[in-house]
């Protein structure tokens, strides 16, 4: 851990930040890219915004898990391979103990999404899987993204953090688009740090701009997220990504 200006950071034996928490506001989303990981809410009807289950693959500093559990009040499942990360989140990042609405599982994300028992269980799926070097997504092939699609309910939405020193956005985005369909995938502009959030919906289409504006306003009002700012960042993928990016690992 490190701390600066009232913010506590999680590191995995490197300088790379794996997550953060403002100590005075432990349920808030501190990092900009983590806030953008909630952009999938724009794909959801305002009346059913917090219905269903939220799932995180990769715990980080537990920011998304805490937000979904404590602020959205959704049933929430987090899947994290590293037991030390879970322990650190419980000791230093205010991750609550499991309860009727929260389950933190020390499991491999690839095996979890491939388990038939987990088909169609998630309305919101957050994928943020990096090792201590933050070089590339740990899981990033079409079989994995196809299993993620199977985890989503019919109106479910997946957001993926794409970042790394050796990873290729085009490669990863192309794989997601081949699984979900190009029209079902959007991306947000990269953050200053280089994180690009990809949004992929199982069946739900992105609504018209007027509907999106109303949804964004309600998300800001209810949860304090900068949803109207996201509207200026959402863009379609280049069709060339699907044709030119390699399909394999």
DSSP secondary structure string, 31-91? Answer: SHHHHHTTGGGGGS-GGGTT-S-EEEES-TTSHHHHIIIIIS---EEEEES-HHHHHHHHH
Per-residue b or e along 168-207, where b marks 16 or more CB atoms closer than 10 Å to that residue's CB? ebbbbbbbbbbbbebebbbbbebbeeebbbbbbbbebebe
Stretches in the chain below the pLDDT threshold 70: 13-16, 131-136, 164-167, 243-249
Residue 246 maps to a domain:
no
Q: Give the integer Cα–Cα distance in Å for 55 and 220.
A: 22
pLDDT of residue 9: 85
* 195 found inside a domain: yes
Alpha carbon 118 to its chain centroid, in Å, reads 17
Residue 245 included in any domain: no
Q: How many CB atoms lie within 10 A of CB 150?
A: 19
Residue 18 included in any domain = no
Q: Residue 148 maps to which CATH number?
A: 3.40.50.150
CA 177/CA 246 separation, integer angstroms: 12
> For residues 73-91, b (16+ Cβ closer than 10 Å) or e, as one string?
ebbbbbbbbeeebbebbee
Q: How far apart are CA 242 and CA 245, in angstroms?
A: 6
Residue 10 lies in a domain: no
What is the per-residue pLDDT for 134?
55
Cα–Cα distance, 153 to 162 (Å, whole number) = 23
Crossing angle of helices 169-180/142-151, nearest 10°?
A: 50
pLDDT at 168: 75
Q: Say if residues 80 and 105 touch (Cβ distance below 8 Å).
A: yes
What's the pLDDT at 70?
A: 97
Does residue 3 sit within a domain? no
Asked if residue 181 is part of any domain, the answer here is yes
Examine residue 171 and state whether it is found in any structural domain, yes or no: yes
CA distance 205 to 161: 21
How high is the pLDDT of residue 240? 81
User: What Å distances lie between residue 116 and 33, 119, 120, 121, CA to CA?
Assistant: 31, 5, 9, 10
pLDDT of 133 = 56
pTM (2 decimals)?
0.92
Number of domains composing the chain: 1
Q: Domain containing 123: what range?
A: 28-239
> What's the pLDDT at 193?
83
Parallel, antiparallel or unpaired: strands 152-162 and 185-187: unpaired
The whole-number pLDDT of residue 166 equals: 45
């Amino acid at each position: 851990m490190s701390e600066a200006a009232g913010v506590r950071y999680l590191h995995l034996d490197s300088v790379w930040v794996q997550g953060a928490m403002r100590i005075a506001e432990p349920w808030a989303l501190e990092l900009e890219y983590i806030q953008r990981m909630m952009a999938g809410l724009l794909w959801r009807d305002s009346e059913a915004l917090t219905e269903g289950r939220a799932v995180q693959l990769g715990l980080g500093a537990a920011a998304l898990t805490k937000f979904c559990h404590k602020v959205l009040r959704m049933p929430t499942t987090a899947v994290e391979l590293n037991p030390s990360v879970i322990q650190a989140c419980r000791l230093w990042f205010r991750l609550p103990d499991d309860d009727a609405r929260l389950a933190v599982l020390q499991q491999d994300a690839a095996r979890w999404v491939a388990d038939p028992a987990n088909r169609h269980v998630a309305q919101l799926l957050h994928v943020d899987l990096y090792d201590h070097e933050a070089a590339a997504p740990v899981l990033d092939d079409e079989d994995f993204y196809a299993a993620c699609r199977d985890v989503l309910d019919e109106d479910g939405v997946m957001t993926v953090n794409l970042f790394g020193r050796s990873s290729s956005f085009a490669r990863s985005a192309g794989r997601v688009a081949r699984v979900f369909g190009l029209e079902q995938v959007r991306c947000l502009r990269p953050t200053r740090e280089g994180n690009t959030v990809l949004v992929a919906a199982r069946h739900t289409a992105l609504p018209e701009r007027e509907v999106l504006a109303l949804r964004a306003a309600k998300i800001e009002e209810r949860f304090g997220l900068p949803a109207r700012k996201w509207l200026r960042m959402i863009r379609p993928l280049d069709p060339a990504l699907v044709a030119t990016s390699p399909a394999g690992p």
